Structures are given as C-alpha cells and as structure tokens.
Amino acid sequence: MATLQMESGAFAPRAGEHELKGAVNVPAANDVAMPSLEWTPEVARQTAHLYDRVKTVIPAVEWPAFAPTIKAINDLKRQRNAVILAHNYMTPEIFHCVGDFMGDSLQLAREAEAVDADVIVQCGVHFMAETSKLMNPAKTVLIPDAGAGCSLADSITPEDVRGLRKAHPGVPIVTYVNTSAAVKAECDICCTSANAVRVVESLGAPRVLVIPDEYLAKYVATKTSVEILTWKGRCEVHERFTAEELRAYRETDEGVRIVAHPECPPDVIAEADFTGSTSGMIKWVKDHRPEKVLLVTECSMSDNVAAETPETTFVRPCNLCPHMKKITLAKILEALVYMKDEVTIDPAIAQRARRAVERMINLAN
C-alpha cells in the first residue's frame, strides 16, 4: 500500500563546499575568460576525491571527459561567490561533483531562501529557478538553459486559473510547485509532492482545487477526506510508466521493491511499496536498503542513489526528462563564465507568487 509522508533532507549539503561567505571582489560578467579544459595530471589529482563519489556509475575511461569541466566549475563558483542547487534528476557528474545543495523541489526552495552567496545556479528546470528567485529575490539566479521547461508547468496558464476561480467560487486553489510564477500568483498556496496532503488539509475547506497535475491530485484524494478537484496536466515522464510493466518486473523477480513518485498514474502507484517525493524515495531506499529496487521516476535518480548505495541493485526502466537533461556540465560552466541566463520575474507577479510559496514554507516551520 502506497503512503505519502513528510520527508526530510535525503542529501545534506557537503561540509565546507558552500561556505563561500569569505569570497570578495566578485568579478563582473565579462571579467572571466573561458578556462582551459585540458586533462592534465594536476586536474586528475585535484578531482580524484570527486571521482571517488561516482566511480560506481561513471567508468574510469570517461572521467577525463568530465573532470576538467568539473574543476573549472568548482573554481568559478569561488570566483563568482556562487552556489549550485541541484535537483535529484541531475546526472551524477553534476549531482555529486558540482552540486552544493541537492534535493527535491521543497528542499531546494528552502535552501534557496537560506543562500548567502551572491549567485544561485539552478541545476533543474525553469520553475525551480523561478522559485529560487521568489525565495531570495536579492540574489542573481542563473539557469544554464532557459529552455528547460516542464510539461506540467506548460499545461496551465494564469487565464486558466482565473477561469477555474470563476467556475468554482470560494474553493481554495493549491498549485503544485511545477508551475510558472504567473500561475502561482493566481493561486492561494503552493505545494510540492512532499507536502501536498498536508497543504490541502491545512486549508480547512471541504473542497480544494489541486492543479495542474491530474495524477498528483488523484493521489492526494486517496489520502484525505477533502474533496479534490483538479486540472488536466500530466508529467510526460511519469505518465509513461504502466502497471503492466511493473507487474512484469515483479513476475521476473518477486523480491524487487517498487518505489513510485506521485506524478505516476493511479494504477502504477497501486503497484508500489512506497510513494513519495524524489527525496522521499531516496530516503526510503537508504532506510530500507533493499537488495533490488525499481525507482518509478526519472532515470538519473537511480544513478545518483546507486553511487551511494552500492549494495542495492537498481532495475532501470529508463524514462528521461528531456527538460532536466538540457542541463549539462558545459552549460553550467558557460552560465558561470558569462553570467547567463538570468532569471527575472515581473515584480507585481513575484509579490503574489511569493505569497503562495511562503505560505507553504511557513506551514512546515
């Protein structure tokens, strides 16, 4: 039986890596030249401790292709007084080798609020970068590829939300964090997959609109007596999983444990041993240490957890998020060299959108 729980940090920041407060004289955007990306003995020496983190998921023969860019990014973070917030779906060389804070959407929003550095580089999709800007407007927020979108965020517009308000007067509107700031501005409160049930129940209303993810809303409806109305959005990655394929995996291997994200269709969730946010899924694996597990979510996450739990075998039906995969080491380096692409939000929209996100954050405090 699947359960959704409030989850706490699966990946803590690494001591020392984000303590950049001492950096001074942050260079202007055009002051930094593209660093050399040569594979040298010195680069090998300076990145050996990072390779150790990913050696079970990145073959040694491939490391020379990653290491010079990783070193250049880590050097530039110090020069720019920047931190990297990396979502759990980033590839292992980003997640384990340049990320300062790693986590699910809720954890990254909280970390963004606490960032002391001048620059946040968001390694995730655009709505995540917008959320960081909302949480910490004084910082420069960069996204390595401004085209990194999300099928859920694209499924609904501010006009759609205004239409829903008219059609359902008095019904509070909870927006999943996977929406644009302009959509958040039209909603009462935000939620993530880690806290959706709690957010809905905090409203004390008999009926609540949970938008735009039809499947997340259906999942919440199974966990509360509040009547849930929704929208027709879907995650293009999670909607591809089927209950049939999961049953086939169980038939081949009875002992396999199945852990799903709530963006999956209801019959897929019904097959899971646990359902939770990406960090909730990671925590479940680390707590239970199963012999074999299938993470029903974006496939880079299995690599990231596998690097830390070598005793577990990961079954990998690989569904990639094409948006998350737009974020690469080369683009992160360019973002730091050229200080692009900067995320900005119209102040009138930002003020209203921030209210919805802060309401959610304050609930947990």
Residues in contact with ligand SF4 by CB under 6 A are 125, 150-152, 178, 235-237, 263, 298, 321, 323-324
Alpha-helical segments (H) within the chain: 41-54, 63-80, 92-95, 105-114, 126-135, 158-167, 181-184, 196-202, 214-221, 243-252, 266-269, 278-288, 300-306, 329-338, 347-364
Instruction: Using alpha carbons, select from 47, 48, 101, 56 the residue that is nearest to residue 74.
Output: 47
Least distance to ligand 13P, CB of residue 278, Å: 4
Least distance to ligand 13P, CB of residue 149, Å: 11
Strands 207-211 and 173-176: parallel
- Binding residue (CB under 6 A) for ligand 13P from 140, 175, 192, 300: 192
Name which of residues 91 to 120 contact ligand 13P (CB under 6 A).
104-105
Q: Judged by CB, which is closer to ligand 13P: 104, or 111?
A: 104
Report the partner that residue 323 touches, choosing among ligand 13P, ligand SF4, none (CB closer than 5 to 8 A by kind): ligand SF4
Report the partner that residue 105 touches, choosing among ligand SF4, ligand 13P, none (CB closer than 5 to 8 A by kind): ligand 13P
Report the partner that residue 88 touches, choosing among ligand 13P, ligand SF4, none (CB closer than 5 to 8 A by kind): ligand 13P
Least distance to ligand SF4, CB of residue 124, Å: 8
Instruction: Using alpha carbons, select from 191, 193, 99, 192 the residue that is nearest to residue 144.
Output: 99
Least distance to ligand 13P, CB of residue 227, Å: 24
Least distance to ligand SF4, CB of residue 152, Å: 5
Distance CA 39, CA 59 (A): 16
- Binding residue (CB under 6 A) for ligand 13P from 47, 88, 151, 312: 88
Taking residue 212's Cβ as centre, other Cβ atoms within 10 Å add up to 27
Residue 180 within binding range of ligand 13P, rule CB under 6 A: no
Distance CA 144, CA 338 (A): 10
